[in-house]
Structure 1
Amino acid sequence: MDTPQNNGKPGYIEHKEARLASLYEEFYGKIANYAYAKIGDRFEAQDIAGEVFLRALRSLESYKEHGIPMQVWLFKIARNLIVDYYRKAARGRTVPIDNIELADNSNPADEIEKRDDFARVSRVMEQLTDGQREVLELRFLSELTSKEVSIIMGKSDGAVREMQRVAIEKLRHLLGVES
């Protein structure tokens, strides 16, 4: 019997579950990196990435593509969870001691250089608008196309490309890199 849940096709949900499993393999790391870039806490970012797939699995029956690829849908879920994270953080949160990252036994000079580089790039990225930062994070950390980013951000593809161009120009200027 055809129901709205099976879309009139035998194995429709099973096909979606298989598709979601393959997307998990491909995108879990990218979503976790995107979340980490937005919140700066690796454990929270991994929790958010896991929650993205749990929510997607729960909503799988109601997912309708309508021109939006499933991976874009996943990043939209991630974006919403990150907004929720900041809402909760604004109300005050504590970080369990288990979430504090301990330094490994790597070369201290390398660690200092990495931290300095990261701090410099972070300071420069803070000078971009929120939209420019998000475009760069989605395009380069999460390796999404400008079309996918445009859907996630609710902007036109041209607007996303222009935001990316302006952001890269600004980064080059701020970092003293010639184009």
Structure 2
Amino acid sequence: MHLDQQQALRELHGDYAQLLWRFVMRLVHDRAQAEDVVQETLLRAWQHPEVLAREPNALRAWLFTVARNLVIDDWRSARHRHEFGTAQPPETPDDDQSERILDAWLVGDALATLTPEHREVIRQAYYGGKDTTSIAAALEIPEGTVKPRLHYGLRALRLALEERGVSG
């Protein structure tokens, strides 16, 4: 932007911004919207330098007409017809739990196909967070028995899940 264009824009803003803002405020009763309309009006004037060369009364009429038309366009817009302000924010939807519920159901169904010994070792390890020593103590079995039960139990669980269409 050239120095003379910057000066012309400053003068345009200084001469008309406050007048336009008061005019638009009477139409919209919203400070932010009024400021937006004034900025857009001044921008359009700057984009059409031939308008800036008009006599002051013609320039003023053009600016007020553009501002009025911007307000009317906004009133006619779908945003204005379909949106409304509210003091309450909309409810935020809960996360969709269906995937988690389905997974839990599939795993539970697959666990039911295991022997009670394998199922209990898996439950203690994965749902109880216990290590092999703790599992052996809780189930009163040798620690050397826990590892094979866990291995074969997980293998059987994987096969049961694959039969239900779960791959992984």
TM range (shorter): 0.3 to 0.5
State the structure with bigger RCO (CA 8 A, min sep 6), 1 or 2: 1
- Structure 1 or 2, whichever has the larger Rg, is 2
- Normalised to the residue count of structure 2, the TM-score between the two structures is 0.41
